[in-house]
A and B are shown apart, each in its own frame.
Chain A
Amino acid sequence: MTATDGATPTIVLVGHGMVGQRFLEALAARGLTAAHRVVVLCEEPRPAYDRVALTSYFSGKTPEDLSMTDMAFIEKEGIELHIGDPAETIDREARRVTARSGLVVDYDVLVLATGSYPFVPPVPNKDAEGCFVYRTIEDLLAIEEYASTRTTGAVVGGGLLGLEAAGALKGLGLTSHIVEFAPRLMPVQVDDGGGAALLRTIEDMGLAVHTGVGTQEIVVGEDGAVTGMKLSDGSELATDLVVFSAGVRPRDQLARDCGLSVGERGGIAVDEQCRTVSDPHVFAIGECALASDGRVYGLVAPGYEQAETAAAAIAADEAEQLTFTGADLSTKLKLLGVDVASFGDAHGVTEDSLDVVYSDSRSGLYKKLVIGRDGTLLGGILVGDAEAYGTLKAFTGSVPPVSPESLVLPAGAGESVQLGPTSLPDDAIICSCNNVRKGTIRGAVTEHNCTTVPEVKKCTKAGTTCGSCVKVLGQLVTAELEASGVEVDKGLCGCFSQTREELYEIVLALRLNTYQDLLDRYGRDHAKGGDGCDICKPAVASIIASLAPVIGASVHVLDGEQAALQETNDHFLANLQKNGSYSVVPRIPGGEITPEGLIVIGEIARDFGLYTKITGGQRIDMFGARVEQLPLIWTRLVDAGFESGHAYGKSLRTVKSCVGQTWCRYGVQDSVRMAIDLELRYRGLRSPHKLKSAVSGCARECAEAQSKDFGIIATSGGWNLYVGGNGGATPRHADLLAQDLNDAELIRLIDRFLMFYIRTADRLERTSTWLERIPGGLDHVRDVVVEDSLGICEELESLMTAHVAHYRDEWADTINDPEKLARFVSFVNAPDTPDPVVGFVPERDQIKPDLPLLSIGLRPAADVLEGSAQR
């Protein structure tokens, strides 16, 4: 390329999305950033972020979490990144781009990565107030704000993004509708059978689905805001807001304006090097490009490949002349908690191909494999259970070593086999986002000495984009380590070779009631007689506490040796905050509290100057207590009849409830009474991780029971029990364990379920991950706790009975024990002196930690944290 005015040659990138960012990384990897001036014009007000994970904003990810741009990289490579300043005109003759701000840049190479825009069908009032699209973080922020004062939402489009959008609206508390023109949901990815399985599951979640109807008009009220939609079948749907998610179109206007050739249905026409067919100085990559195979790719993996291709072409490195001639459209997603995957020739368009189908619409399962005449696996669709996706996709194009039927039958049914990734050939692609083959992953273990998934991810980049292959990565790493003679240690930690479950069995069977006894008798040889570690101490403390009444240990977690095993939260019976102060949460069973109780909490918080906040679990958290204040605060709380809320423990937190039948017009059972009964029954129960619960008084599910470890939903005939739900970073809908139970049946089943979980879970394993890990999953748990297939239910129940009978309030006992109270001081040599580092400053009429007082010098590097979390 010729340099303009003899200056450094300039590469201008228009658009800084995921593909644009990958292009910059590809330039840097080829050393092009050093030899070129690189200018990036980005329209959005923030640099590249993970658009694929956009919806995770609604499950708690912040825009910062979603960012894919490492500013240190941009700086180090000397890239000039202009945020919020889109390119407005291109003068190809002069090779000059002008941005909105008036910035003019002359280029030697121009790369267009402008992405796509959401298609909005040309219906009347499509731009009315309350109409949105679903494409950028800004769109989501706008939807969130608008939805906060509305009750109903509709999504136009039942494709992948449409379902995500509908799930997001539901998550915002709206009654949600999906309107899809095609006769089924996700028409591109699944066939009619898959669509039916999907439909059932999605309707079960409370979303209303309208398929086979088009949107004819957006109806607006007098104020010009959306009130409803007219549909093509003549019906009208009342809704407060409409999200258009009816596909995307390439953003090629800039290219059209400067005379670059575009496809009939849009897209900037490029050749196999991603160079525009009209101008050798201009490239186009990602969703704005019309590839040489005549297609526009709307997935990130092909976009990444195009970014690499364009960078290689610019480097004009003969040794590495990449071409982009087309890409795989395989996808795996978890939509609204439902696994949906399609790969290869999912619709069986190959001549003479045959289908192998397993369908169980009752449980929302649908699996189809497309097989060629010679037995080659050509593609497939998985709905409801996409566990096998990674393996099946890698086998696509080859004849699998077992019969296709056995690959789609559910586990445990007759012929089913679990085809492990170990049987894959070395050239099978495991990570299609980053094009990493199995051989490369094996090499990372055998040649680069990687022993963990994070190490392999760092070494190969596999699993770093969409994450759908991480499970297969884990299996490959384990298999490779085992094959190379490295014994994979399943022990709890460096001190014990047993798993938590095995230690539990030892403690229970031998009635061992001290940590030292367990360590000295059953620890690894080098650990015997030693001090243990910060992993096994709290884990064993939890086992001892769960079993305390039956193994003859004290039921107070601060008695004797137990005091030395507890994490700081349990040790001070409060929650440590960032500046060394603690927060206090009294138990408010079922979220029911008298005005007098509220006043007492308010007075205590006021008298001690605490920051108060309502928790998600329907109680009140008081922050900013110093260690030496905790006993004083609790003396007053206990006097007023409050007891520990165990917010600090790996134990039962709260049982939320809606107001239920007593007040609510819709309620069918007394959910508050049941929530109080359950909370009082299981309070203080130590478990592998925290336990949350909720009781809803009717199917409207206002208490969000399906996001809890055990959730109860009232029916007209009794109670439905759901288990294994979770909110947080990896939300999971709870699974229905049993239906229409009476009170006694419900409690007996929860007793068994919790005790079985406590007995068999790993350390810090929530019920949701436990349920997915243990062999047989939900069915096995149901067999054990409902059918008593292991004959242990009587023991499980008696363990729970012992817990309930021996429960005592930890805080009431502590404030009456001078020896324990003596530990609640900031300084052993100055019991009356408060920690001078714990200070507060005002904010919004309350206090917040005085962070400058902590004079933070160092932040831990991210990989240190990752490493420590794995220990």
Chain B
Amino acid sequence: MTLAPETMTDLKVQLRLGDADDTDDGWFTVCDLSLLLPGRGVAALLPDGRQAAIFRDRAGILYAIDNRDPFGGAAVLSRGLTGTHQGRPYVASPLLKQRFDLESGRCLDDETVAVTAYEVRTAA
């Protein structure tokens, strides 16, 4: 039996931003889910000018953290490689390879450093 691939064109990726005023319950719609390649990230421009890096893992789970690499300053975390370290998902910065936990935003290679992590969901 062949399973029809899930149609995702109508599913949207949404981020929860702190501020609920000008968005729908604080959820900000970023893009179609189909634009996220498993194992890769994309960058999104947020209403206040910040940037988020959004990732999708092999199991289809979504993660979002701040896009700026706090070590080098460039907004490039969305372009890093993802992986699993001790059961937790991470992205390695493409600049100097420090790893960031995708759920908490904490840097795995320097406990004093962390980036913002965002709640993320799909919505029809």
A contact set with B: CB distance below 8 Å: 494-495, 516, 526-527, 529-535, 537-538, 563-565, 567-569, 571-572, 576, 578-580, 822, 826-830, 833, 835-838, 851, 854-861, 864-865, 867-869
Across-interface contacts of A855 in B (CB, < 8 A): 73
Q: Is B26 an interface residue (CB 8 A)?
A: no
Q: Is B43 an interface residue (CB 8 A)?
A: yes
Across-interface contacts of B57 in A (CB, < 8 A): 531
A860 touches B37 (CB 8 A): no
State which of B42, B76, B94, B97 has its C-beta within 8 Å of the C-beta of A868.
Answer: B97
B85 touches A494 (CB 8 A): yes
A533 touches B96 (CB 8 A): no
B31 touches A854 (CB 8 A): no
Across-interface contacts of B68 in A (CB, < 8 A): 837
15 contacts between A and B (CB under 8 A): A529-B58, A534-B83, A534-B97, A564-B40, A568-B80, A578-B72, A578-B95, A828-B35, A828-B43, A829-B45, A837-B75, A838-B74, A857-B70, A868-B97, A868-B109
Across-interface contacts of B85 in A (CB, < 8 A): 494, 533
B110 touches A580 (CB 8 A): no
Q: Knowing A563-B40, A568-B94, A827-B44 touch, does A534 contact B84 (C-beta < 8 A)?
A: no
Across-interface contacts of A531 in B (CB, < 8 A): 39, 57-58, 82-84, 89
A537 touches B83 (CB 8 A): yes
Q: Is B62 an interface residue (CB 8 A)?
A: no
Closest CB in chain B relative to A1 CB, distance in Å: 43
Closest CB in chain B relative to A471 CB, distance in Å: 26
State which of B37, B42, B70, B113 has its C-beta within 8 Å of the C-beta of A563.
Answer: B37
Among B38, B85, B92, max chain A CB count under 10 A is at: B92
Q: Which 9 A-B pairs have the closest CB atoms?
A: A854-B73, A533-B83, A564-B39, A580-B74, A534-B81, A568-B94, A828-B42, A534-B92, A568-B79
Across-interface contacts of A572 in B (CB, < 8 A): 79
Cα-based distance from A830 to B44 in the complex (angstroms): 7
Closest CB in chain A relative to B88 CB, distance in Å: 10
Cα-based distance from A516 to B76 in the complex (angstroms): 25
Across-interface contacts of B40 in A (CB, < 8 A): 563-564, 571
Interface string of B43-77 (1 = CB under 8 A from A): 11100010100100110000000001011111110
Across-interface contacts of B45 in A (CB, < 8 A): 826-827, 829-830, 833
B98 touches A576 (CB 8 A): no
Across-interface contacts of A495 in B (CB, < 8 A): 83
Closest CB in chain A relative to B124 CB, distance in Å: 18
Among A571, A829, A837, A867, max chain B CB count under 10 A is at: A829
Q: Knowing A534-B97, A837-B74, A860-B71 touch, does A828 contact B44 (C-beta < 8 A)?
A: yes
Closest CB in chain A relative to B85 CB, distance in Å: 7
Among A534, A822, A837, A867, max chain B CB count under 10 A is at: A534
A568 touches B84 (CB 8 A): no
Q: Knowing A827-B43, A857-B70 touch, does A867 contact B109 (C-beta < 8 A)?
A: yes
Across-interface contacts of B98 in A (CB, < 8 A): 860, 864, 868
B73 touches A856 (CB 8 A): yes
Across-interface contacts of A516 in B (CB, < 8 A): 58
Closest CB in chain A relative to B61 CB, distance in Å: 10
Cα-based distance from A119 to B105 in the complex (angstroms): 60
Q: Is B106 an interface residue (CB 8 A)?
A: no
Cα-based distance from A305 to B44 in the complex (angstroms): 59
Q: Knowing A516-B58, A534-B99, A829-B45 touch, does A854 contact B72 (C-beta < 8 A)?
A: yes
Closest to B57 in A: A531
Closest to A836 in B: B49
Q: Is B17 an interface residue (CB 8 A)?
A: no
Cα-based distance from A647 to B38 in the complex (angstroms): 26
A530 touches B73 (CB 8 A): no
Q: Knowing A531-B57, A564-B38, A861-B110 touch, does A856 contact B72 (C-beta < 8 A)?
A: yes
Across-interface contacts of A579 in B (CB, < 8 A): 73-74
If over half of A's interface residues share one DSSP class (helix, strand or loop), that class is named, otherwise mixed; here it is: loop
Cα-based distance from A856 to B38 in the complex (angstroms): 31
Closest to A854 in B: B73
The number of chain B residues touching the other chain, given as a range, is: 35 or more
Across-interface contacts of B75 in A (CB, < 8 A): 580, 835, 837
Across-interface contacts of A835 in B (CB, < 8 A): 43, 51, 75
Closest to A536 in B: B83
Q: Knowing A572-B79, A580-B76 touch, does A829 contact B31 (C-beta < 8 A)?
A: yes
Across-interface contacts of A851 in B (CB, < 8 A): 73
State which of A530, A565, A859 has its C-beta within 8 Å of the C-beta of B71.
Answer: A859
Cα-based distance from A865 to B79 in the complex (angstroms): 19
Across-interface contacts of A830 in B (CB, < 8 A): 45
A576 touches B84 (CB 8 A): no
Cα-based distance from A495 to B84 in the complex (angstroms): 9
Closest to B43 in A: A827
Across-interface contacts of A494 in B (CB, < 8 A): 85
Across-interface contacts of B110 in A (CB, < 8 A): 860-861, 864
Cα-based distance from A54 to B83 in the complex (angstroms): 42
Across-interface contacts of B30 in A (CB, < 8 A): 828-829
Q: Knowing A578-B95, A828-B30, A828-B31 touch, does A564 contact B74 (C-beta < 8 A)?
A: no
Across-interface contacts of B95 in A (CB, < 8 A): 576, 578
Closest CB in chain A relative to B82 CB, distance in Å: 6
Knowing that A567-B94, A837-B74 touch, tell me 13 more A-B residue pairs with CB under 8 angstroms.
Answer: A516-B58, A530-B84, A537-B83, A564-B39, A571-B40, A826-B45, A827-B44, A828-B54, A835-B43, A835-B75, A837-B73, A861-B110, A864-B98
Cα-based distance from A855 to B96 in the complex (angstroms): 17
Closest CB in chain B relative to A826 CB, distance in Å: 6
Across-interface contacts of A837 in B (CB, < 8 A): 51, 68, 73-75
Closest CB in chain A relative to B98 CB, distance in Å: 6
B44 touches A829 (CB 8 A): yes
Across-interface contacts of A829 in B (CB, < 8 A): 30-31, 44-45
A858 touches B113 (CB 8 A): yes
Q: Knowing A564-B39, A580-B76, A864-B110 touch, does A532 contact B31 (C-beta < 8 A)?
A: no
Q: Knowing A568-B94, A827-B51, A837-B74 touch, does A534 contact B44 (C-beta < 8 A)?
A: no
Cα-based distance from A580 to B81 in the complex (angstroms): 15
Closest to A837 in B: B75
Closest to A855 in B: B73
Cα-based distance from A720 to B37 in the complex (angstroms): 48
Across-interface contacts of A527 in B (CB, < 8 A): 84
Closest to A579 in B: B74
A568 touches B76 (CB 8 A): yes
Across-interface contacts of A537 in B (CB, < 8 A): 39, 81, 83
A534 touches B58 (CB 8 A): no
Across-interface contacts of B99 in A (CB, < 8 A): 534, 868
Cα-based distance from A867 to B79 in the complex (angstroms): 21
Closest CB in chain B relative to A558 CB, distance in Å: 10
Closest to B74 in A: A580
Closest to B49 in A: A836
Across-interface contacts of A856 in B (CB, < 8 A): 72-73
A576 touches B97 (CB 8 A): no
A565 touches B39 (CB 8 A): yes
Cα-based distance from A568 to B91 in the complex (angstroms): 12
Closest CB in chain A relative to B76 CB, distance in Å: 5
A533 touches B109 (CB 8 A): no
Cα-based distance from A851 to B45 in the complex (angstroms): 21
Closest to A835 in B: B75
State which of A526, A535, A564, A569 has its C-beta within 8 Å of the C-beta of B37.
Answer: A564
Closest to A851 in B: B73
B96 touches A576 (CB 8 A): no
Closest CB in chain A relative to B102 CB, distance in Å: 10
Cα-based distance from A863 to B69 in the complex (angstroms): 18
Cα-based distance from A755 to B57 in the complex (angstroms): 34
Cα-based distance from A320 to B45 in the complex (angstroms): 64
Cα-based distance from A569 to B95 in the complex (angstroms): 11
B73 touches A857 (CB 8 A): yes
Across-interface contacts of B39 in A (CB, < 8 A): 531-532, 537, 564-565
Cα-based distance from A569 to B97 in the complex (angstroms): 13
Closest to B108 in A: A868
Across-interface contacts of B94 in A (CB, < 8 A): 567-569, 576
